[in-house]
Every structure is written in C-alpha cells, then in structure tokens.
Amino acid sequence: MTVRRALAFSYIEKYGSFLLSLVSTAIISRLLKPAEIGVFAIGMSLVGVVAVIRELGVSTYLVQEQDLSETRIRAAFTLAMAMGVGLCFVLLAVSIPAGLFYKDPTVTTIVAILALNFALTPLGSVSQSLLVRELRFSALTWIRLAQAVILAVAGIGLAELGWGALSLAWAAVLSSAANGVISLWVRPHDMRPSFDGKELRRVFSVGGPATAISIVDELVASLPELVLGRTQTLAAAGLFSRARGMSQMAHQLLARAAGPVFLAVFAERQREGVPLAPLYAKATACVVGLGWPALAMLVVLADPVVRMLFGPNWLAVVPLMRWLSVAAAVALLTSGAYHLLLASGGVRDVLHAKTAALPAQALPLVVGAMFGVDAMAMTMVLAAAAATLLLGQAVRKRLGIRLRDQLWPAMTSLSVTLASAAGAAIGLLVPAPYSALGAFERLLVGGSAGVVFAAGALMAGAHPLRAEIAQLLGRLRGREKRA
C-alpha cells in the first residue's frame, strides 16, 4: 500500500470515528448533566494514567522491529496480556480509595468497570500493530470504525435507559470486547505465551522507554480534570473535558490519524537507509496546513458550535475551547516529531524532551487550582509552546534539522489560517436567533466561507498541499478519461 493510500484510509477512520463521536457526544450531553460527565471524566483520567503501561510499548516495538518473527510476536503478546490482566486487578483494588478521595461512590464504580478494559484490550492491540506494520490500513479502518459504532450506540442507548455516568463506562467495555474479537479474526496470530527471557528483554528494551513517554503524556493529559475535580467542582472538570475534546479535534483528525502511518513509513525508510528530513518537513507542512485553518474556524465559531452541539447549559465551554484550540495549534508544529524520533532510534531523546517539559506542563495545574478553569486553559498555551520547543530541540540533536527549518510550516500556513478565520467570521454576521437552529445557520455560513477562503489562499500560494491537491485532481481526471 502506498503512503497516500495509507493516509487516506487512516483519515477515513479518524473522520468517521470523529463524526460518530461528535453525534453521540451531542446526544449524550443532552441526556447527562455536566456533573455526570465530570464524574466519568475523573474516572477515565484515573484509569488513563495507568493505561499507558498496559502494553509496555508493545505496539511501538512490533512496528519498528527490524527482524520480526513469530517467536517475538508471542513474546510481545505475552507481555501485553500479563500486564493488562495484572493492572485490571490493581485498578479494582484502587477503585474504592478513588471514590473515597473524590467523595463520590460513582467514581469507584466507574473505575471498577473500566478496569475490565485492561484484560480485553491486548486481545486486539497486537493484531492491530501488525496491521500497521504491514501498512494494511484498509482493514484497520473498518475494525476501528466498527468499534466506534458500538461505542456510540451503546453509550447513547444506556444513557437513554437512565444509566447515567455508568453508561459511558459500560459502552467502553463493550466496544473493547468487540474490537478484540474483530481484530483477531482479521489478523490472527499465535496467542501461546512465550517465556523466552531474551525475547522478552528485547521487547522491553524498546517498550520500556516508549512506555515512560506515554506515562508522561498521560499524566499531562489527565491531571487537569483530576485537579479541577478535587480543587474546584465536578462540573468544572466536565466543562474542561468537553472543551479539550473539541479543541483536540484537529490533532485527533490530522496528527493522530497520520501518526501510525508516519511511524510505519518512517521506520520503513529508516530500514532502507533513506534520509528522513525531507519527508518529515513535508509531512509537518501538510498537517499544519490542514490543522491550523480548522482550529482558527473553531476559535471564531466556538459559540455557535457549543450552542448547536451541547446546548445553552454548556456556554461556559466557549472561552475554554478558544484557549485550548490555540494550544492545540502550537502542538501541531511538532506533531510528527515523536514518530520520527521513534523510527530513527531516538526513543530516549523523546523521553528526555518530555521530562524536561514537565515543569511547564505543571504550570496550568497550579494556576487552575488557584484561579479556576479559565485561567488553567489560558496557561495551557504556554505549556504547549514549551513542550514544542523542547521536542524540536530533540529532533535537531538527533537528525540535525534546525529548529527554524522545523517551524517553517507555520509561515507557509499562516496566510491560509488567516483566510479561514476571516471566512468563518462571516457566519457571525448572520441575523439568526441564539438557538440551536440559529447556531446551525451561523455554522453553515461561517464554515462554508472559511473553507472557501482557505482553499483560495492555499491555491494562490506555494504551500506543499497545493502540489498534493493538484496531483490528486490530475489522477481523478485521468480516471474519468479512461472511464
């Protein structure tokens, strides 16, 4: 499978999953209260901190291993399964103290339910990692879309039946179980345990540092809700969770969708001895060129987005969403750096950069505890800038790519971003009532104008995306002529 085809399937999966999540989130937000969303967000954050060590970096190992054999696949699966089952029991034991700490028994129940995921997830994770290594992103796309459908349907159905915050937890368990069954059916592998010490150590030599990186990332991602839930209110945690979910849209749909493809392709090019710098520069330019305009439109149209999706009870999300969207835009500048460094053997460089950024990442937590959720969202921008600079320095040290050369996509994408924001602002001029219908009208006009303005600026400039679009259009015309 070619890189472009792999990216296409990866984007189909992410966009499809996002749309399903968006619809289910909008429906569930009307069925559950902010405090119920906040309780689930706290439980999910507690579980997320532990989840990162579940597989011990097995997925990263399977994708980048130079000489992968069935024996090594068995060793990787053994580590993942042993850790998953072990952590399931750990979380069951931790669930009661967690509920006592937050003075809410629902937290205990949610953590206990989500603990079941740890024993289920390894069933599908090894198969999916092998599909990534083999660049079989078409099969991976349909597996993950099926999981997203089950998650959405189960969540909405249980919430409608009155299960409250527990509906989201049980939906996650059901989708994980289905994901494991489907993944093993599509890409079976030998599930017999392996206790070969040499092979287990080989997996851990890559997976250990990769797991440490994931721990740092998950702590940074989970602590805001945990801090707000304890020092402010459960509703504040729910508001921040909703705002960050929307602001991470571009990162989810672009950077994370491309991430597995980047890692697989970078690793393949590394094995072939091909220089990675040109490919990395082009990949970053394309991700930023798509992500910044989308985030700019979200900043401008935050109010109608919230009114239409979540309703008037969630309007406090608007300022949070705007600040967190700016932070997400900063993070996009080095969105491919992690996979580039992993593919080039620089897993420890990533770990050092992530660790060095921890003091800056802790700043929003302190500010949020003292001044509230709005102040926390503002300081997330500074934290994102510090993390981006440190990760860029790691790329410079490992591959010799200067920091200014890594940041040049910002300059080429700036005109497209400003154009998209100008177009989106037109939507705010629509004389519509402040209702869900009026919000839809503003979004329709503003979103359409933003896309048109951005496309015009893109085609008028020299952005790398212009050549990609021209090539795509050329292929489509060629197919029409042959037809």
**pLDDT tens per residue, the chain (483 residues)?**
566 677 677 778 777 887 888 788 888 878 887 778 888 888 887 787 677 676 667 777 787 777 778 888 888 888 888 888 888 998 899 888 888 888 888 889 999 999 998 888 888 888 988 888 887 888 888 998 999 999 999 999 998 888 888 999 999 999 999 999 999 999 988 888 888 777 777 777 766 666 777 677 766 766 676 677 677 777 777 778 778 877 776 566 666 666 667 777 777 777 777 777 777 877 788 888 888 998 999 999 998 888 888 778 788 888 888 998 998 888 888 877 877 877 777 667 777 777 777 776 777 667 766 777 788 888 888 888 888 888 888 888 887 778 877 777 677 888 889 999 999 999 888 887 777 788 888 989 999 999 999 988 888 877 777 777 776 666 656 655 555
pTM: 0.66
Sign of CA dihedral 91, 93, 99, 100: negative
Q: What is the DSSP letter of 390?
A: H
Is residue 194 a contact partner of residue 211, using CB atoms and an 8 Å limit?
Answer: no
CA distance 201 to 234: 43
CA distance 34 to 434: 21
CA angle at 369 for the pair 363 and 375, rounded to the nearest 5°: 65
Is residue 172 a contact partner of residue 24, using CB atoms and an 8 Å limit?
Answer: no
Burial of 201 (0-12, 13-18, 19+ CB in 10 A): exposed
Q: Give the SS3 label for residue 429.
A: coil
**What does residue 293 show for φ and ψ, rounded to 5 degrees?**
-60, -40
Q: Give the SS3 label for residue 344.
A: coil
Of 432, 455, 346, 451, the residue nearest 391 (C-alpha): 346
What are the angstrom distances between the C-alpha of 478 and each of 466, 473, 481? 18, 9, 5
Is residue 402 a contact partner of residue 274, using CB atoms and an 8 Å limit?
Answer: no
What are the tokens at 345?
């053997």
**Residues shown for the chain:** 483
**What does residue 53 show for φ and ψ, rounded to 5 degrees?**
-95, 5
To which residue do tokens 């994931």 refer?
Answer: 214
